[in-house]
Structure 1
Amino acid sequence: MELKSLVDQPGKLPTIPKVVQQLMASFNSEEVSAHEIAQQIAADPALTAKVLRLANSAFFHASRTIGTVDDALRMLGFIMVRNLVLGNGMVAAFKSSRGMDLQQFWRHTLYTAVAARWLAMHAGINGEDNGDAVFTVGMMHGIGQLQLHAVAPAAVAPLDKQCNVLDAGRAEQEKAAWGFHYADVSAELATIWHFPDALVTALRSVPDPLGAGRLDRAAAWVHLGAWAARVTVLSLEDEAALATYPAAVGKKLGVDPAWMPVLVKHAPDKAERAMPSLTELAAGLDAMLE
């Protein structure tokens, strides 16, 4: 199996809703206005209703009811509204991926995105780490896994029997088997969709954010977020969670281990520094997965 063969024909690419395609185009456009984006979303009543439902969720703690897409853009910001549309579009595009537990996969993806955003906002460098942009990487990082299962299910099936797609060592096993991993496929899709180079690089680097010789910070936050999501979604015991914690990445980012109680059980006095549970952190955003 070759990487290019997974995306080399239009028929192999997921069907992306038109408004999501327009939002994707905005990644590289410096001229697009918030008003244009609002009009594009508002032209789809079902999507508008979903965006407003998400915008009014507990996740955003809005001070007042958000009643229009324009309101959502003003109060949440362009990047976050685009994230809501993009996430919703990706879920719709990959409705069937043989051999995968899609509900588990998307919950892990959402939890990764919210955990990575929380980390970037609470432990990141002001002006360098953008939590909403990190959320984008988190929501997109696993789409290559979906593409693999949609286009080459027979080739992926033997590996699925050995290793859960969410397992910490999955990317390494894929690399050994095929010469590339799911994140390379994610990056290929992002390239075809004309995403910015920085986002493509981050997606490719998520499994190993230190591997390129320099730290890719967005990929590193998502890498840590994916670990936290894995602990929750796969209900890992403390021993397994500790054994798979990417300590080198956390250290490079300068993250206080107190962000996850399992890492500092000996220091209950640090509880106030801990990230909220992922169920609480993602409150209301699970509507994106419907």
Structure 2
Amino acid sequence: MPLKAMMNNAQQLPNIPKIVQELIESFGDNNVNTDAIAKKIASDQVLTAKVLRMANSARYGGNRKIGSVNDAVVILGFNALRTLVLASGLTSAFKTPESFDIKQFWRNSFTCAALCKWLAKFTKLDPEVAFTCGMMHNIGGLLIHTLAPDKAAEIDGAVSQGLDRKQTQDLQLGFDFTDAGAELAQNWRFPSDIVDAVRFQLSPGQSAPYAKLVYLAIFILSMNASKHPEQMQAEFPDQLAESIGINVEQMKDKLAETKTLDSGLDALLG
């Protein structure tokens, strides 16, 4: 199953709302017309309801009442609003087999996103771009389950027996979830920083900084879930973290915070 052939079948690809596409294209645009985009978001009642519900959560709004999209722009800032709209658009774009736990998939993705954003505060990287990278990091895996559910189930079975997912996907499909995710991100016109973060997340040595951020986030998630977190902390990729400006000693002092991070997006999952 060549990746290009799968991606070229546009009718199979998940659709995202037009306003979400415009928001994707607004990354890096310093002259983006936030008023015009806010009006377009507000014209979609379903999307607005979801965004305001999230914006008024403890994670985002706190004690402040956000009653409109314009309020959200003023109180949260355009970049944070864009993150909420992207999350809403992405979670509604995929139709997966009943056997696939889509809610758990997005919980895992949002957890990784929250950790990427947490790590970004130790760097000069944009925290909302970092969040988006984490949210998108396994989008290729979701795409494979959407477009090739039988093959995906077969791969899941092999992984449950202890095989490596990336290697198994390469063997069975000729590509892996990072390749598929990067292609989809490129198809949706995400900026190169986010495309590269998805593509190089498992081999970040010479790659873009956001790929390194995702790699570190995945490592910390594995460490938090490990029966031997002390050993994993000793094996922490210090040099990789330092290469994007992280003060490793300062960051490690605050690692306990990562066990209770909240993305603020669970309301999307019903």
Displacement after TM superposition at 1:240 (Å)? 10
1:24–1:137 Cα change, 3 Å: same
1:244–1:3 Cα change, 3 Å: farther
Match of 1:242 in 2: 232
What per-residue deviation string (whole Å, max 9, x for no partner) do you get for residues 114-155 of structure 1?
01100111x21x3xx111111111111211111111111222
**Structure 2 residue 216 is the aligned partner of structure 1 residue 224:** yes
1:154–1:37 Cα change, 3 Å: same
Displacement after TM superposition at 1:227 (Å)? 3.2
Match of 2:165 in 1: 170
1:103-122 counterparts in 2 under 5 A?
103-121=103-121
Q: Give the partner amino acid of 1:174.
A: Q
Match of 2:50 in 1: 50
Contact 1:17–1:89 (CA under 8 A) maintained in structure 2: yes
Residue of 170, 175, 189 corresponding to 1:180: 175
1:38-117 counterparts in 2 under 5 A?
38-60=38-60, 62=62, 64-97=64-97, 100-117=100-117
Match of 2:264 in 1: 284
Moved more, 43-52 or 236-245: 236-245
1:284–1:168 Cα change, 3 Å: farther
Q: Give the partner amino acid of 2:176.
A: H
Contact 2:97–2:146 (CA under 8 A) maintained in structure 1: yes
Q: Give the partner amino acid of 1:189.
A: L
Distance 1:286 1:97 in 2: 21
Give identity over the alignment, percent: 35
Q: Give the total of aligned pairs.
A: 267
Distance 1:139 1:84 in 2: 11
Distance 2:13 2:200 in 1: 22
Displacement after TM superposition at 1:241 (Å)? 7.9
Distance 1:53 1:142 in 2: 25
Contact 2:54–2:264 (CA under 8 A) maintained in structure 1: yes
Residue of 121, 142, 147 corresponding to 1:146: 142
1:251-266 counterparts in 2 under 5 A?
252-253=243-244, 254-256=246-248, 259=251
Contact 1:112–1:228 (CA under 8 A) maintained in structure 2: no
Displacement after TM superposition at 1:160 (Å)? 0.8
Distance 1:168 1:281 in 2: 30
Distance 1:19 1:12 in 2: 20
**Structure 2 residue 115 is the aligned partner of structure 1 residue 135:** no
- SS of 2:26's equivalent? helix
1:20-31 counterparts in 2 under 5 A?
20-27=20-27, 31=31
Moved more, 94-103 or 237-246: 237-246
Distance 2:214 2:258 in 1: 17
- SS of 1:59's equivalent? coil
TM-score (norm. length: structure 1):
0.80
Match of 1:265 in 2: none
Aligned Cα RMSD in Å?
Answer: 2.9
Moved more, 169-178 or 67-76: 169-178
TM-score (norm. length: structure 2):
0.85
- SS of 2:8's equivalent? coil
Distance 1:4 1:48 in 2: 35
Unaligned runs of 5+ in 2: none
Match of 1:191 in 2: 186
Moved more, 88-97 or 35-44: 88-97
Unaligned runs of 5+ in 1: 261-269
